[in-house]
Amino acid sequence: MRESRAWTMANAAANNRVTGVCNLRPRLVARRRLAVSAGIFLVAFASVAFVRNSSAADDLTYQDSQPSTQPQSQPASQPQTQPASRPHGEPESQPGERRRRRGEGRGPGGGPPATSSAPGSHPASASSTTTTSTSTSTSTTSKPAEEPDHYSAVINGRIHPVVGPEIARGTVLAKNGKIIAMGADIQLPIECDVIDAKGMWVYPGLVAAGAGGLHGGGAVEDTTDVFSSAQLMALAGGITTAIAGNDAAKLTYGSVDDIVIRRNLFVNLNLDNRERPKVRSDLERVRNYIRELKQFELEKPRKKDAKAPDKDWLKGPYEQYLKLLQHEATAVTNANRAEDLRAVADIARQFDFDLVIRGAYEGWLCAEELGRAPVSVIVTPRQQVNDNLRVRDERSMYPHGATIENAHRLSEHGVTVAVVPPTTAITVMGLAGRDLLHLNMEAGFAVRGGMSNEEALRTITIDAARVLGVDDRVGSLEAGKDADMIVCDGDILHYMTQVHYSVVNGRVAYDKTRSTLFAHIRPEGKPELPKFDDVWPRRLEWRE
Amino acid sequence: MSEVSPISSSARPARPWRLAALLALVSIAGVAGPAVAQTPDDDERFTVIKAGKIITISGQEIRDGLIVLVNGKIRSVGRGIEYPLNARVIDARDRVVMPGLVDVGTRFGLPGYGRNGIFSQLTAADEFVWHAGMFDDLLDHGFTTIALVPAGGGIPGRALVTHTGGPAETRTLTSPGFIRIAAEKRVLRDALEKAKAEIEKVEKAKKDFEEKQKQEAAKKAAEAKAAPQSAPASAPASQPPASQPASAPASQPAFQPPPIDPAYQPLVDLIQKKDGVFAIIELNSPSDVLHTLQVLESFDIAHVFSLRNMPQSGFFEVASQLGEKKARLVMMPYADRMPSSVERILTIREMTKAGSTVAVTPPGDGLYERQIYLQRIAELVSEGWAREDALKAVTIEPMKVLGLDKRFGTIEKDKEADLIFLDGDPLAAGARVREVMIGGEIVHRVEGLE
């Protein structure tokens, strides 16, 4: 009976999902390769600009080509406000510099314009000035076989950089897989893969702080099946980075380049109540060693008979502890009961090492203590304690209190929170909507538990990246970071939102229009927004 | 059926004129064979095949044509060709004649166990013992050439390319043949790196040796300089001192390279681009293709990819990457399907379009896939693969892969006569192979057919 009801509910949910998405407003999705019409370009270049010095000429050409690269549908008021609202992009000079470099070919240093850009050195009558100069300069560069720079851009999107304010309608421009500029009026280079995100929301790719089955085992870059359906589905769920074993790796569907971001993320600590005293005393011993070492180094210049502390015993776990205490590594442990959480947080605080706690079901009971310790957590807002154990005794070794407010409470107290769904793999087993495909929904549940939308978004992007120690490369949209982003048709925290593009390393890894994965779910029909009747304690602010 | 069965009389060479005339008489049956003209040499044994249809592969299909063979090699193909009266005539006017089929990599007839690891010194010939009739099942379905491979994962060894029949002395075509690689990325990379290290080891030893030689030579020269001063008159006239340094290196020991691990020797040959050494790399998924291409970026070796393109394996995803490299592929006769859809994709055609060359081979080691091989090809042709491409892909293309395309694979001048005689078009339903010719002789006749 119970089973059949679950089945019906799952079906109903699936139906709801399908019909609901069918009713979404159709959105214009167009992917264009912008090869600016060479004729106009060259005529403009040759007739107008060529008498000036070449960098000015380049700029002018870009201004000429601008209307054809970006649709002129913006109201007149916008251009005036936009330049002021460009806080994230690199300084304006950067694109210009890039342009000059493109116009004159890549010099070895990639620095200021090469001397060949002086007007006199150009062939005066050349009709194809740019091509000539480019080809000659590439032939004279030291590495002629060098691959051309690859530019890609998402334009016209509502950009959520996660760190920093939203850009209402802007462009993210990436070069060779790194974001180089972001803002409202970025000018695109001539050769650029463009995703038109008009009416769509752009986020950094989601980071799954718990995941399995997306990458191969062992050496991830050797064993990953880059055409696996799990990867494709995870990308369709917006995930572009995931933990793979003890590494952080990207979901480079269809490419084997640049898979691994960081190896050996964590030192795994067993901190259950049997092991704790041992770990504590071992840590103590290592800490004493570090103190003695410091002492020795202080004394060395003065004392001749100063002896370096014995370090032969620093092997195996002690070596790991040494790394931990010297902040060269991060520890990870599983702890769920409040008592355990307090204890492990205490150890981390006392010995001052970075600790990631997986689980933390009862973190809400000791959020203050966790907040004071150098601790971050990987939690599941929808976590439930196992009813099957039938333990209601508070002396029980099993956790017995979970709440949807867990993530919110922890984050309120300054703990870095990463959210993962109940099942950290792509699976069709169990209840629908609980697996890794619904990472975004899990963050939505954190909102239900009291978090703000922005904070919940952080738990699956920048904060998850911080927990994995890869926030220098992924987790937000900033110049200099990897071009990992997703383009979706709504708020990523909403359960009906579909990801339309996932970009990994500046390369489109998932394209909904090309993939057959969700071909049966089409955004057709009249927009009919769903009615919500559950309002406790708060709900997503669904756009009108 | 004509009264004269194809192959009539002759497993023996036609020699005397009388016999020739008799044969000609027997086999006339109104066939337009503009006879005679040449006086045949004694060592030239002529055979003439009168075929209902000749699928030459190299050119147009010929109806009611002739194939003239001399000593098992094709001399001419066409209609109305002259041939000597004493030629043995094979009447195959109700047959379709085409080159024999090829199997690139099978364990047919070999025991079913293998080894994992790097054993590239071993060959399939080691475990192969010919016994009469072992390939009759293959001959029944038109396979005249097969590549037997060692079993197992990693780099289990080298292949044996052999005829499925014919005289023992000409049966083996290549042994040791290509290196079979069925390794995952890391194993392949490690093996190639090890082979490279072996090369460097030899080079270093050689360098050291030469340096040593130089030093010794310098030492000797110094001694020689000192010697004439001490005893200038004692040297006999017959031995001019100038010749001594010249003869000295000859008397010195030659360079003895340090031994190379035999299991890596073929890989060393591969890296050093030794003539005729190449690898067939088996790939099970499109992801494997990308991984292996990444490894091969740092190792320039002669290779062919053998794609295990079972249905729904998704190899079409990497068509462009393979096409860019102008890859040479061996594939199975299967079509693919877009994931979660009913859309069929002709992977082989996609690969060809993208720029690769594709040879087709039956999958696995079992008989069944070989029995229905031509049916599978016909199925793909019915789905839109060009007939000419398909026929090439089962004859000349696999021969190119095996490096035997100069000798076999088409019906044209100077090729050896490995032919099959079918009772209908090879891609028509129900057509069966009836006779198989290897080296100009009918070696197999399919029994039990109407």
Angle between helices A317-325 and A276-299 (to 10 degrees): 60
Question: What are A66-97's pLDDT values in tens digits?
Answer: 333 343 343 333 333 333 333 343 333 333 33
Look up residue A535 and give its two tokens. 């309002």
Q: Which residue in the set A224, A254, A517 is minimally distant from B317, CB to CB?
A: A254
Distance CA B189, CA A221 (A): 13
User: CA nearest A255 in B: which residue?
Assistant: B290
Instruction: Report, in this order, helix, strand and coil percent for chain A, each rounded to 5.
Output: 35, 15, 45
Beta carbons within 10 angstroms of residue A210's beta carbon: 21
Cβ atoms A203, A461 nearer than 8 A = yes
For residue A434, pLDDT beyond 90? no
Please report the ipTM that was assigned to this predicted complex.
0.80
Chain A residues closer than 8 Å to B284 by CB = none
Chain A residues closer than 8 Å to B189 by CB = 222
Helix (H, G, I), strand (E, B) or coil at B410: coil
pTM above 0.90, yes or no: no
**Residue B380 carries which side chain, given as an amino acid letter?**
L
pLDDT of res. A256? 94
Contact A256 B286 (CB under 8 A): no
Cβ atoms A448, A538 nearer than 8 A = yes
DSSP A141: S
Per-residue pLDDT, averaged over A505-527, amounts to 75
pLDDT of res. B308? 94
B21 phi/psi in degrees, rounded to 5: -65, -45
Q: Which residue in the set A256, A257, A516 is minimally distant from B339, CB to CB?
A: A516
Q: Which residues is B83 bridged to in the sheet? A: B35
Q: Which residue in the set B189, B314, B341 is minimally distant from A519, CB to CB?
A: B341
pLDDT of res. B390? 96
Helix (H, G, I), strand (E, B) or coil at A346: helix
Look up residue B68 and give its two tokens. 């003239």
Mutate to test the interface with B, among A214, A226, A428 (most CBs of B within 10 A): A226
Question: What are B236-269's pLDDT values in tens digits?
Answer: 444 444 444 444 455 567 888 899 999 999 999 9
Cβ atoms A62, A99 nearer than 8 A = yes
Q: Which residue in the set B294, B338, B339 is minimally distant from A229, CB to CB?
A: B339
pLDDT of res. B204? 95
pLDDT of res. A541? 54
Question: What are A253-296's pLDDT values in tens digits?
Answer: 999 999 999 999 999 999 988 999 999 999 999 999 999 999 99
Which helix (H) or strand (E) segment holds residue A173: the answer is: strand A167-175
Cβ atoms A498, A437 nearer than 8 A = no
pLDDT of res. A117? 33
A-B contacts (CB, under 8 Å): 38
Distance CA A146, CA A140 (A): 12
Mutate to test the interface with A, among B190, B283, B291 (most CBs of A within 10 A): B291
Chain B residues closer than 8 Å to A259 by CB = none
Cβ atoms B159, B148 nearer than 8 A = yes
Residue A145, C-beta contacts closer than 8 angstroms, at least 6 positions apart: none
Question: What are A344-403's pLDDT values in tens digits?
Answer: 999 999 999 999 999 999 999 999 999 999 999 999 999 887 666 555 666 667 777 889
pLDDT of res. B320? 95
- In angstroms, the Cα distances linking A94 to A54, A170, A173 are 17, 17, 12
Most confident of A22-36, A303-317, B97-111, B218-232: B97-111
* Tally of residues, chain A: 544
**Residue A347 carries which side chain, given as an amino acid letter?**
I
Chain A residues closer than 8 Å to B184 by CB = 222-223
pLDDT of res. B73? 94
User: CA nearest A232 in B: which residue?
Assistant: B339
* Burial (CB count <10 Å: 0-12, 13-18, 19+), residue A308: exposed
Look up residue B20 and give its two tokens. 């020739």
A143: closest CA of chain B, how far (Å): 17
pLDDT of res. B342? 80
User: CA nearest A229 in B: which residue?
Assistant: B339
A222 touches chain B (CB under 8 A): yes
Mean pLDDT of chain A: 75
Question: What are A394-416's pLDDT values in tens digits?
Answer: 666 777 788 999 999 999 999 99
Contact A224 B287 (CB under 8 A): yes
Distance CA A318, CA A283 (A): 8
HSE-CB at A507 with a 13 A cutoff on CA atoms is 15
Contact B186 A229 (CB under 8 A): no
A355: closest CA of chain B, how far (Å): 33
CA angle A207, A208, A211 (to 5 degrees): 150
**Residue B165 carries which side chain, given as an amino acid letter?**
G
Chain A residues closer than 8 Å to B294 by CB = 256-257
Distance CA A167, CA A78 (A): 12
Q: Tell me which residues of chain B have a pLDDT lower than 50.
A: 1-34, 36, 232-248
Question: Residues of B near A (CB-CB distance < 8 A)?
Answer: 184-186, 189, 285-287, 290-291, 294, 314, 317, 338-341, 343
A407 phi/psi in degrees, rounded to 5: -60, -40
pLDDT of res. A392? 62
Residue bearing the bigger pLDDT, A45 or A351: A351
User: CA nearest B189 in A: which residue?
Assistant: A222
Look up residue B181 and give its two tokens. 């690689």
Q: Answer positive or negative: Cα dihedral of A347, A349, A352, A356.
A: positive
DSSP B4: S
Cis amide leading into A537 (omega within 30)? yes
What single string gives the DSSP state of each residue in B238-262? TS-TTHHHHHHHHHSPPP-PPPPPG
